[in-house]
Structure 1
Amino acid sequence: LALRSGPQRREDLCVALWPDATPELARNSLSAALSALRREMGHDFVCADRFTVSLAPNAFETDVAKFQVAVKENDWAHATQFYRGHFLPSCFEEPLIGVARELEEYARLAFDSLFEQLEAEQRWEEIVIEARRALKLFPNSTSWQLAAMRAHRALFHFEAALEVFKEISNAARRENEPVPDAARHLARQIRREREEHPFMPPELVAPRPTSAENTAPNFPSTWTSFFGRDEEIEEVAKLLRSGERLVTLSGMGGTGKTRLLIEVARRLAPEWPGKIHFVPLAALSNAELFFSNLRDALGLEAAPDLPPLEQLARFLRGQKVLLLLDNFEQLVDGAALSLQTLREKLPDATFLITSRVLL
């Protein structure tokens, strides 16, 4: 009922939900199910007459509906954010299993289109992050692995790119299939470029943690030296050392907030008592996805029976983490309370935020 807008014939529901029951038993089962739904959600939640059943319009929303709207609007960034795992995972019979397959195909289309868009805009670091998440959902999708290889190559992460090639090769070997020519050709180019740049600074070839404890998997690399803002770096670092749990770097776009945040984190990394996690938020405009986006940035698998906030709280509780939330401005109205809730659940965590708007 939630997936299909408008009234549904009782007979169709009986056949779909109780295909092996007699008509009378199926009708009784439907009546019992509707009564239970009214008790749980309220009497006005279900609209029913002798022939049809529907749910009250505007009384609920679903992740499927949000996903479908994003796909229809070609909003690939939001579509892929809404798709955090297979929809309808416990449905193994028609017609819902057919709906689940169709949604899965749309999710693949959304990721395909997102990577195409990000590559056209040369947003290499975002490709690396999104490819990691996409390949957890759909392992061994060669086109996405190739996108990740190209992104690593553009970032001079030659070893990381070749690790992805190794995954492609291993998958092909398991299936007794040849390694795709495109992957072989790209790997040859990357090896040649690695040989041509033997003296490239290590942080450009393959970023390494400043210390064993203090680097997030997606901590961004920078390709130029940073001069002239030592006083600002030290001022922010001093605030964080003193125990300030929330510091916001605010200013107009293009003033170097993100770079300042990164340099502060680098300066603090050797001495910070816990891990440092970088969380990019520029592509996120739906505040409802704040917790799940943060969970994904930390590399956590989605737990079907656990809300993202509770999952984060269990994972980070007691840790003196430093969370770097970059580009928070578009979430201020919707996610400010979420941030406060997270701070209350994680009294040992510290937050360094960039935003064009003060929190």
Structure 2
Amino acid sequence: MVNNYLPSVGGVEFHVAALAKQLASLGARVTVFCLDNTTPSELDSNPRIVRFPCSPAVGGVLAWPWPGTSRKIRRMLSDGSVTAISTHTRFFPMSLIGVRLARRLGVPGIHTEHGSAAVKGVSPLVALASNLVDRTMGRLVLRGASRVLCISDGAREFVRDLAGVEGEVFHNAIDTAAFTAAPADTAGTTGPAGTAARNRLVYVGRIVPGKGWDLALATAEQLAVDHPEMELHIVGDGTDRTALASRAAASPLAERVVIHGQQPPARIAELLQGSVFLNPTTLSEGFQTTLLEAVAAGAAVVSTPVGAARYLLEAGADVRLADAADPGAWVENVRAALDSPAAPPAKALVDSFDWKRRAAEYLAVINSVRNS
């Protein structure tokens, strides 16, 4: 039970869609209840997608179901076939409905928390409102769930601080085959001992304040002279798209900056292979799947010290950390990554964050709660 689902795009939407698909592939019958005023339901598929009308979404994200939605869902689940209810992110109204329905139906309510801090990068008024939601509805969701899964250590600490609930880490995951199978292209020139030298910088993410696209561009400009073959590829869209285009057009690196907009996973995989992936975010991130995708594709990663980056560094991935407030450190870390030979990641590491494995772990969590 989620507020937003595909075709809406975002980290939570991709997580839920992948989890639902993999659970179905393991033999579970999955229904996704979500809010959507335009996309029709898909009632004959597995996962089955049931969409309910809702209020206009605040910021394109937070909508409210119309009165009676909870009653309609309960009637649909009254045949007793439901074995668990899955909710995602504490501040969505559908998460509260899901947790309460799980209790009324006597089934496990498994909540996955994707946030690792209060909302950042917003106006003071929005920050005040989101903090109020966290301390009311957010606490009700976290305290009402049978089990709380957290997609990073940071999320687990946040859940503990906000609601006094001990969650367990359940890392985000990806379809690793979609990135490890990317075809080789001209991402690099031949380097020492036949290895590929990196000459492509890639930013994948929303083009919004706080995600760091401006730092990515500024870093590339500082390295342009010493790396004449280097290009910067920016993938994504958002409210700063016009500002990005204007800034890039005026840049001395203008002819080597490519703004792609939204791209399918296959194209993103091609761009990531053998590249240096830039993640200069200062927002409250959960466990960013783009970092997993970059590592799976053989990219070196330079990131602010967010949870996913620290985890991958400790796991032995080619990751360098730099604070967003230190542009000099960004330049030197990206320079070191460009000068390092491109090499495939360890297979065991990549296998560890594949969705097939994670979905089986999710079923095990459900069974453990049902049997406890």
Q: Which TM-score band applies after superposition, normalised by the shorter structure?
A: under 0.3
Structure with greater helix percent? 1
Structure with greater strand percent? 2
- Choose 1 or 2 for highest CA Rg: 1
Q: Which has the higher contact order (CA 8 A, sep 6+)?
A: 2
